[in-house]
Amino acid sequence: MEDISDRIAAMSESETLVMSQKSRELQAKGIDVINLSVGEPDFATPDHIKEAAKKAIDENYSHYTPVPGYPQLRKLIAEKLKRENDLSYSFDQIVVSNGAKHSLMNAIFALVNPGNEVIVPAPYWVSYLEMIKLAEGKSVVINTFGDSDYKITATQLEAVITPATKVLMLNSPCNPSGSVYSHKEYASLVEILKKYPNIWVISDEIYEYINFEGQHCSIANFPEMKDRTVIINGVSKGFAMTGWRMGFMAAPKHIAKSCEKLQGQQTSGSCSISQMAAIAAYSGGLEEPVKMREAFHRRRDLILKLIKEIDGIKVNTPPGAFYIFPDISHYLGKKFNGNPIENADQLAMYLLEEGHVASVSGGAFGSPDNIRFSYATSDEKIIEAMKRVKIALNNLK
């Protein structure tokens, strides 16, 4: 439409949200759809966090909050980063926003000028490219594959660096692949980045607590990188608080102040009640996140066992997050009722319409030979969903 701005017209819809909407439409018609497209824990927010929010309402925390967040919350986040991650930040290097997505957008707009290049490993989270597009930057995608566990190498990184490169996007644990970068793998990337001191890193660590291999590592743990890295995190995944919309960034002070300035004109401070809930989350220990991680670990093993029983599927063992990202290229070109399935988008739609299982096409993440299943649901639903997927794929000829 002529009256819509060019920047909005050029944007793509979030494919994960599109599939969730289509699932709801089928469910509204009475169809039993198992939704493995959604990227959120199925657990309830822990009780002590909910109680803190109720208390905040009763105590009239109903006024505007400071733009970068309550000082108490920012100090708690700084203490968490020191205690759990061995990273030293002052509270004024923390900016609290309306979810990690908002923090990412702030960071990209603070760093990227029109024409700057942003290196994005694929598979990538669906919104990265659209955010970069809105900032008038240029995405430079590095393709990765299963044989490298969907992680970039130092050689790949250096090959795409140009004088226009401004930012490298990293996401570990990764949505959609579940991949986790080790200290050694980061070290090899750091050796390259040391040669290019003007390149920043935006490190999306929202799945930090859902890591099945032990201690989380950030590229900011390398002394050469801490003052060139913006860490993005929040309570959504680890504390089952997606709807509370509470994320944060930890960054060098001048970047934090720039994001505070942007947020002051954009949304102002984030929700007072959600901030009080986040204070309870970050001061209440990790017992609940550990329980959830153990459940996700068990579910990962279950869904991997079941999907490996399907002929032609190739799948890695993801060490983090709550997704599997199988290679489904074996099924592309096959037909159902004479109609060819030519790409992962069509395969995901086929699985939804014929198998009544919602997934997300790997095309949305820059990996057109893959499909993403979330296992953030019950064992029973995982078992039934994989049974349906197996039957549906076997019906392709």
User: Do 274 and 379 sit in the same domain of this protein?
Assistant: no
pLDDT tens digits, residue range 270-286? 999 999 999 999 999 99
Query: Under a CB-based contact definition with an 8 Å cutoff, are residues 180 and 172 in contact?
Result: yes
320, 302, 278: which is closest to 377 by C-alpha? 302
Question: Mind spelling out the 3-state secondary structure of the chain?
Answer: CCCCCHHHHCCCCCHHHHHHHHHHHHHHCCCCCEECCCCCCCCCCCHHHHHHHHHHHHCCCCCCCCCCCCHHHHHHHHHHHHHHHCCCCCHHHEEEECCHHHHHHHHHHHHCCCCCEEEEEECCCCCHHHHHHHCCCEEEEEECCHHHCCCCCHHHHHHHCCCCEEEEEEECCCCCCCCCCCHHHHHHHHHHHCCCCCCEEEEECCCCCCECCCCCCCHHHCCCCHHHEEEEEECCCCCCCHHHCCEEEECCHHHHHHHHHHHHHHCCCCCHHHHHHHHHHHHCCCHHHHHHHHHHHHHHHHHHHHHCCCCCCECCCCCECCEECCECHHHCCCEECCEECCCHHHHHHHHHHCCCEECEEHHHHCCCCEEEEECCCCHHHHHHHHHHHHHHHHCCC
Residue 58 covered by a domain = no
Q: Return the biggest CA–CA distance within the chain.
A: 64
Residue 49 covered by a domain = no
User: Do 185 and 210 sit in the same domain of this protein?
Assistant: yes
User: Do 217 and 238 sit in the same domain of this protein?
Assistant: yes
Domain limit, last residue, from 267, 284, 301: 284
Residue 160 covered by a domain = yes
User: Do 279 and 292 sit in the same domain of this protein?
Assistant: no
Say how many domains are in the chain. 2
User: Do 227 and 182 sit in the same domain of this protein?
Assistant: yes
Distance CA 252, CA 107 (A): 11
Residue 1 covered by a domain = no
User: Do 200 and 137 sit in the same domain of this protein?
Assistant: yes
User: Do 354 and 235 sit in the same domain of this protein?
Assistant: no
Query: Under a CB-based contact definition with an 8 Å cutoff, are residues 94 and 66 in contact?
Result: no
User: Do 253 and 319 sit in the same domain of this protein?
Assistant: no
pLDDT reported for residue 1: 61
Residue 57 covered by a domain = no
User: Do 227 and 324 sit in the same domain of this protein?
Assistant: no
pLDDT tens digits, residue range 62-78? 999 999 999 999 999 99
Q: For residue 66, which amino acid is it?
A: P
Q: How far is CA 210 from CA 76, 91, 247, 252, in A?
A: 20, 25, 16, 26
Residues of the chain with pLDDT under 70: 1
Q: What crossing angle do the helices spanning 100-111 and 253-266 adopt, rounded to 10°? A: 110
CATH number at residue 362: 3.90.1150.10
User: Do 301 and 314 sit in the same domain of this protein?
Assistant: yes
Distance CA 221, CA 72 (A): 24
Residue 195 covered by a domain = yes
Is it true that the peptide bond before 340 is cis, omega within 30 degrees of 0? no
Query: Domain residues for 319?
Result: 6-44+288-394
pLDDT reported for residue 175: 97
pLDDT tens digits, residue range 99-138? 999 999 999 999 999 999 999 999 999 999 999 999 999 9
Residue 197 covered by a domain = yes
CATH number at residue 120: 3.40.640.10
pLDDT reported for residue 126: 92
Domain limit, last residue, from 263, 284, 305: 284
Domain limit, last residue, from 239, 265, 284: 284
User: Do 341 and 217 sit in the same domain of this protein?
Assistant: no
User: Do 303 and 273 sit in the same domain of this protein?
Assistant: no
